[in-house]
Structure 1
Amino acid sequence: MGYYFPYYFDPTYILVIIGVVLTLAASARVRSTYAKYSAVRSISGMTGAQAAERLLHASGIYDVHIERVSGHLSDHYDPRTKVLRLSDSVYGQNSIAAIGVAAHECGHAIQHQQEYAPLRLRGTLVPVANFGSRMAWPIIIVGVLLGGSSTLINIGIILFSAAVLFQLVTLPVEFNASKRAVARLGETGILFGEELDQTKKVLNAAALTYVAAAAATILQLLRLLILFGGRNRD
């Protein structure tokens, strides 16, 4: 039995639309929150790069290099090379938002140093998730074109499930990094009182983007299961 795809309306597209809306809303939230607290100068006057260096050293980490990269909010920590890269909007800025983002990336460096299990698991999943997200739909489409090959369709769904698993594992990694960041900012005296509450708002808004990404991939997986869930009964 073949698969039927309505020419004019596929109700499962609603799931895709919901995922897109969640992702756009989360992105808008983080942009507006970051912009708001980018205008608030920290009492310490430290830049993102200076705060990152102090946090790393306070955590006993001296082998992580801090580099400046172009872009806006392109900040990340590379555990393979032990390089913490801060974007133009963070590296040399002394705002609450810049320090918060820099501290979050330091949180990942601390996780790496302490061999935080979810971070290690996420690193293991990266190549599988990348391959799965690229190849899942092409394999499924080929399966459909070959008369509804259950084997290929199942492989495609399994590959996409790996991408979903990666998104789910990412959540505790990101939330934990933010928790570590706020705690260390307070312990080192880089931020004070209300400043800590403000940077929490920045990091919480950023965390929503990961929640939205996970929700969007889960909805896409649900759509795949709805579209092809009856294949073994056909």
Structure 2
Amino acid sequence: MIYVLVSLAIAALIIGPQLWVRFVLWRHSSEIGDMPGSGAELAQHLIERFELDGVKVIKAGPDQNYYSPSEKIVALSPDVYHGKSVTAVAVAAHEVGHAIQFCKEEPVSKLRDKYLTRAHHIKRIGAGILLFAPILTLLIKSPVIFLWIGVVAVITVLASALMYVAILPEEYDASFNKALPILREGYLPEHLLSKAHSVLKACALTYVAGALLDVLRLWRWIRFFR
């Protein structure tokens, strides 16, 4: 019974941040009638205002909001691209905040190149090891090999999660040193700024919440192998 309760508590701690991020974005996604423009229109305006040469705004798939430094693209999900809500405006400002970081070659923008690419590679390696571990164990017929494969897989997934945490300064800078001061300049009325603050905090923690889910998936794989 204690094992079940501990397992549930750990799962809640891991899943909780992801659910919180989704809840905050959903909570403030109601359309505001007198909002002067959509997320895409605000993003385009900010790109022109800050003279971010070559940066374009595109409509991406559902839940896909990001800035691609290599393509110089601010990608916004349909509800953010067309939306006129606090969530749409805040998310658009956050992604343009990333564009400002990279176009101005700010030191904080180096964190993504240094850690995020490595995190993706390590994550794929860990997933591949977990996928082929049972097959290799059956072929080699050695539990010791399986044990070492498991250890390597655990290390790779945890390392990936830690690298997501390492880019938090970049995410917080985009939210609170870029997007929030911009929105305070009259893009949002005063009574909506606290809501925008919540949305921007959720944006900053998106990668960490996703990394925690990777840890949960790892735990489920380990239980399956056992």
**TM-score > 0.5, shorter chain as reference:** yes
More helix by share: 2
Partner of 1:120: 110
Paired residues of 2:115 and 2:164 also in contact (CA < 8 A): no
How is 1:70-219 mapped onto 2 (pairs within 5 angstroms)?
70-71=61-62, 73-136=63-126, 139=129, 141=133, 146-149=142-145, 155-179=152-176, 180-187=178-185, 189-215=186-212
SS in structure 1 at match of 2:28? helix
SS at match of 1:66: strand
Name the counterpart of 1:69. Answer: 60
Distance 1:52 1:115 in 2: 19
User: CA separation in 2, counterparts of 1:159 and 1:12?
Assistant: 27
Residues 1:57 and 2:81 aligned together: no
* Aligned length, in residue pairs: 212
Cα pair distance change 1:161/1:39, threshold 3 Å: closer
Q: Structure 2 counterpart of 1:183, which letter?
A: P
> Over the residues paired in the alignment, what is the CA RMSD in angstroms?
3.5
Query: 1:95 Cα shift?
Result: 1.4
Q: Highest relative contact order (Cα 8 Å, sep 6+), 1 or 2?
A: 1
For residues 122 and 178 of structure 1, the distance between their equivalents in structure 2, rounded to whole angstroms, comes to 15
Residues 56-83 of structure 1 deviation map (CA, whole Å, 9 limit, x = unaligned): 2222213200111231x31111111001
**Distance in structure 2 (CA, Å) of the matches to 1:12 and 1:160:** 24
Structure 2 residue runs without a partner (length 5+): 221-226
Task: Describe the shift of the 1:42–1:119 C-alpha distance in structure 2 as closer, same or farther (beyond 3 A).
Answer: farther
Change in 2 beyond 3 A, CA 1:39/1:206: same
CA spacing shift, 1:217–1:204, aligned 2, 3 Å: same
Q: Percent identity?
A: 29
Q: Unpaired runs of 5+ in structure 1?
A: 1-8, 224-234
Question: In structure 2, what is the equivalent of residue 5 of structure 1?
Answer: none
Look up the SS of the partner of 1:133 in the other structure: helix
Amino acid across the alignment from 1:81: E
SS at match of 1:70: coil
> Which amino acid in the other structure matches residue 195 of structure 1?
L
Take 1:37 and 1:109, find their aligned partners in 2: how far apart are those partners? Answer: 24
TM-score, normalising length: structure 2:
0.75
SS at the partner of 1:38? Answer: coil
Distance 1:47 1:196 in 2: 17
Shift of 1:159: 3.0
